[in-house]
Structure 1
Amino acid sequence: WRENAPEVYENFVVAPIPQKDPANPHTFIHTYALAVSADSKVQTEAWKFLNFLLSKPGEMYEVAGYINGRKGIFDSAELKAALRGLDVYMQSYSTGTFVWRSATWAQEGDIIKQAIEEFMQDGKVQEALDKAATEIDKVRAQ
């Protein structure tokens, strides 16, 4: 998209995720769970392949837009050069927890998207997030 809309790319910023309770920030951390089966007959080769895939975090971000979950990822000079807003990501990661997707994940995502749409339209962030929290609690209780 950088090539198709350079004027947008030049003006985009990474912003913190709005928080329901700014004094107690929290975010979710997600990564792709890459693994090698314990029953694999080609474990050595599989691990070498995964190490190759994850060896250039800056390139992975640049090409695919993904930050992999490898330990020390944010120490990579390559990633630091490619990633705008690293300080914002680091702050979010410091208050984040990894969560497995639940049976209600898709519904929760729809509720969150709706909340974002609402507060982007009317500016009432707290109201939209409170409503979303109530709706998510209802979905999880089913």
Structure 2
Amino acid sequence: MKSHLLIITTALLLSACDINESMRSNAADSSTSDARVIAAKSGCMGCHAASNSVYGPAWKLVSKRYQGVPDAHAQLTATIRSGSAGRWDQITGGKRMPPQQGSINDEDLKIVVDYIIALNTPKPATAATETATKQE
């Protein structure tokens, strides 16, 4: 009887972890979608894409450059607001990114910058993944 109760309790706990992970995954998908919609609406997608360089650098490359930088969010936000030159010459052929002062508001810019920085951020292990790894 005790072993049945233990099995049922364990199953309930693991299913709750899966539900939480599913909810987190759905929230992440939603914020990714929001960031892409905002970026398209603001004109960012004319020069950038997430995985490949169009006219400007791919956002995954940008994310990689800012990985581990303590104030990455503030630096990238400032670069977008004021424009940049010389950082990506091998991709842009020396053309500069123009300042984006009026094309995107602060709230939307934060969503896009969060998305860009998260592209190369390691994902934390989930409870379900940790449990499966321990059982192997």
> Whose strand proportion is higher, 1 or 2?
1
Greater helix percent: which structure? 2
**TM-score normalised by L of structure 1:** 0.25
TM (normalized to structure 2)? 0.26
Greater radius of gyration (CA): 2
